[in-house]
Amino acid sequence: MKQNEDILGNCPDAEKIFRVPDGYFESFAKLMDEKTAETDTKQHGRMVLANWWKPVSVAASIAAAIVCTSLYINEKHEEELMLTIEHETLYSQLEDLEIIDYLASEED
Amino acid sequence: MHKLREEDLFDALRDPKRRSEAFGVVVKTHSKQLYWLIRKMVLSHDDANDVLQNTFLKAWRGLDNFRGDSKISTWLHHIAINETLSFLSSSEAKNKSDLSLEDSMVQNLASDEYFSGDELQLKLQRAILSLPPKQRLVFNMKYFEGRKYEEMEEILGTSVGALKASYHHAVKKIKDFILNEN
């Protein structure tokens, strides 16, 4: 009981209670050196990819915009063409008499 | 390069040509102190090693954002503490055993080849683990490392008064825990 009450009385040396593998701190600096170099290589790889990807994505966006615009224009043109053909077909189907009647009614 | 002043070391860290070497000096200078701070929180050597590596990797990646407003050691302590607390909360989330994270940690500690404490030390660790993580951090820094409250204030961003209160509450809780355990 007395021992328990005094447990905080004498601070234990944490480094004696908790141990580390032999030479841990000496090898840790070397390990970190390798890890940071590895990180740099990865970051460099990402930068190279980003540098390559940026112009490609810009070019692809421009190409996509051009394709969309030309598709839209083509579609409009086709619609207009279809309308003209439809009108011409409609007119060609009118009887001569119907035209004469129409013109006569206009004159009245 | 070992004898560099803080300002020179900071300049070297900003210089791409000298950065790597300067960071090596930072690792050599601060790894031991940070390791022990982390180890007393996570208890296992393997976990402490992982958290310490993440701390330095975060520091390395964040070198461009370090403006030198605080000391290098304070900046590293901030990262180490954040990494440790994140590690503990993610371990808590991942813990699928019937035991609480703290009980699992004590159980693992008892069989840890890198722990040489006796039954009484194990009991002390169990009592320390009963504290919330931030209070545990305050207790460890004051009790085991004997740090000044002013230094802790700078690192933890908590006022000296609040730190004193937190430490005294922690001591009381630990004593109560040990007495009630018997």
Structural domains of chain B, ranges and CATH numbers in brackets: 1-99 (1.10.1740.10), 117-182 (1.10.10.10)
| pLDDT band, residue A76 (cuts 50/70/90) | confident
pLDDT for res B47: 94
Quick: pLDDT tens for B2-51.
556 888 888 888 888 888 899 999 999 999 999 999 999 999 999 999 99
pLDDT in tens, A17-66: 889 999 999 999 999 999 888 877 666 666 666 777 777 888 888 888 88
Query: Which residue from A16, A24, A29 is facing B116, i.e. has the nearest CB?
Result: A16
How far is it, in rounded angstroms, from Cα B111 to Cα A20? Answer: 15
Task: Compute how many other C-beta atoms are within 10 angstroms of the C-beta atom of residue A2.
Answer: 5
More confident residue, B68 or A5: B68
pLDDT tens digits, residue range B70-124? 899 999 999 999 999 999 999 888 877 777 888 888 888 888 888 888 888 888 8
A85-104 residues touching B, CB cutoff 8 A: none
Q: Report the C-alpha gap between B24 and B43 in whole angstroms.
A: 26
Secondary structure of residue A18 in the 3-state scheme = strand
**pLDDT at residue B82 in the model:** 96
| CB atoms B114 and A37 under 8 Å | no
To the nearest whole Å, the CA of A49 is away from the closest chain B CA by 19
The pLDDT, as a whole number, for residue B15 is 87
Using the Cβ of A8 and the Cβ atoms of chain B, whether some distance falls under 8 Å is answered with yes
Q: Which pLDDT value is given to residue A7? A: 64
For chain A, give every domain's residue range: 22-107
Above 60 in pLDDT, residue B176? yes
Which is it for the CA torsion A52, A54, A58, A61, positive or negative? positive
Going by the DSSP 8-state scheme, the letter that residue B63 receives in this structure is G
Are B114 and A16 within 8 A, CB to CB? Answer: no
Mean pLDDT of B51-66: 93
B168 contacts in A (CB within 8 Å)?
none
3-state DSSP helix/strand/coil % of chain B, to nearest 5: 75, 0, 25
Residue of chain B nearest A21, judged by CA positions: B114
Distance between CA atoms of residues B149 and B141, nearest Å:
9
Which stretches of chain B sit within 8 Å of chain A by CB? 20, 23-24, 27-28, 31-32, 35-36, 39-40, 43, 45, 49, 52-53, 56-57, 60-61, 114-117, 120-121, 123-124, 127, 143-144, 146, 171, 174-175, 178-179, 182
Q: Which chain B residues are within 8 Å of A31, Cβ to Cβ?
A: 53
CB contact under 8 A, A20 and B45: yes
A10 touches B: beta carbon within 8 Å: no
Contact criterion met (CB < 8 Å) for B123 and A7: yes
Which value does ipTM take for this structure? 0.82
Per CB-CB distance under 8 Å, the chain A contacts of B124 are 7-8, 12
> What is the three-class DSSP state of A20?
coil
Contacts of B78 (CB under 8 A, 6+ apart): B70, B155
Q: Tokens 């004193």: give the residue.
A: B164
Question: What whole-number distance in Å separates Cα of residue B35 and Cα of residue B38?
Answer: 5
Contacts of A12 in chain B (CB under 8 A): 117, 121, 124, 144
pLDDT at B80: 97
Q: CB-based contact (8 Å) between A1 and chain B?
A: yes
